[in-house]
Chain A
Amino acid sequence: DLQLTQSPSFLSASIGDRLTITCRTSHDIANYLAWYQQKPGKAPKALIYAASTLQSGVPSRFSGSGSGTEFTLTISSLQPEDFATYYCQQVNSYPLLTFGGGTKVQIK
């Protein structure tokens, strides 16, 4: 089975910080990776697909990069509304999908 490992699991940051979250996969998935943001008690929100393409309406401070087995989600300047949990998702084996374990971003 294809495994996704996100790091870190928890991250404390301040407003204005540059933040990077990593997602590593156990097999080469080219660029078949998506990123989501989830706030407490809310449904996930799509941020990025195909590793680096922003969904419509997502602020440009969010960016994604990577291919193969290592991917990153970067927030260039953390805003108050960005404190949330972030998940990566591999779509290489679509429709048999897996999500990463999540990265919770907390206020420092």
Chain B
Amino acid sequence: EVQLVESGGGLVQPGGSLRLSCAASGFTFGAYTMNWVRQAPGKGLEWVSHISGSGTPIYYTDSVKGRFTISRDNVKNLLYLQMNSLRAEDTAVYYCARAPYYYGSGSYSFDFWGQGTLVTVSS
């Protein structure tokens, strides 16, 4: 059974840092691209970052470039999101999501998601 379990969220002051983790099990972790997606309270979904199975390439949404760093450990089956210089607008539930490539259609989807971890940036 595929499982993704996020941890590391919490309350942090503006300008502070947090590192989120996503523990993966039930599949060959290194074979899959992984993503972080966030959802501000009462708002919609926002893609944050992507990392390929090998660790490169990496991509970020513009609002987090230079502040967030995505990484992975394919031995420990862990995905990370290091978040620095946090702002109030980064307050959200952060989800990790698996993104398989569907060879038949040449398309993608986020087929499994973790339960999310809440990050609150406030003084």
A joins B in a complex: yes
B45 within 8 A of A: yes
| Residues of chain B contacted by A3 (CB below 8 angstroms) | none
CB-CB contacts below 8 Å: A24-80 with B:
31-32, 34, 36, 38, 42-46, 48-50, 53, 55
The answer to whether A31 and B109 touch across the interface, beta carbons within 8 angstroms, is: no
A83 within 8 A of B: no
Chain A, Cβ-Cβ closest to B51: A95
A→B interface (CB under 8 Å)? 31-32, 34, 36, 38, 42-46, 48-50, 53, 55, 87, 89, 91, 94-102
B1 within 8 A of A: no
Chain A, Cβ-Cβ closest to B100: A49
Chain A, Cβ-Cβ closest to B50: A95
User: Roughly how many angstroms separate A10 CA and B24 CA in the complex, as a whole number?
Assistant: 35
The answer to whether A31 and B116 touch across the interface, beta carbons within 8 angstroms, is: no
B105 within 8 A of A: yes
The answer to whether B105 and A43 touch across the interface, beta carbons within 8 angstroms, is: no
B→A interface (CB under 8 Å)? 33, 35, 37, 44-47, 50, 59, 61, 95, 99, 102, 105-116
The answer to whether A43 and B47 touch across the interface, beta carbons within 8 angstroms, is: no
30 pairs from A and B in contact (CB 8 Å cutoff): A31-B105, A32-B107, A34-B108, A34-B109, A34-B110, A36-B110, A43-B113, A44-B110, A44-B113, A46-B109, A46-B111, A46-B112, A46-B113, A49-B105, A49-B109, A50-B102, A50-B105, A55-B111, A89-B109, A91-B109, A95-B33, A95-B99, A96-B59, A96-B61, A97-B35, A99-B45, A99-B47, A100-B44, A102-B44, A102-B45
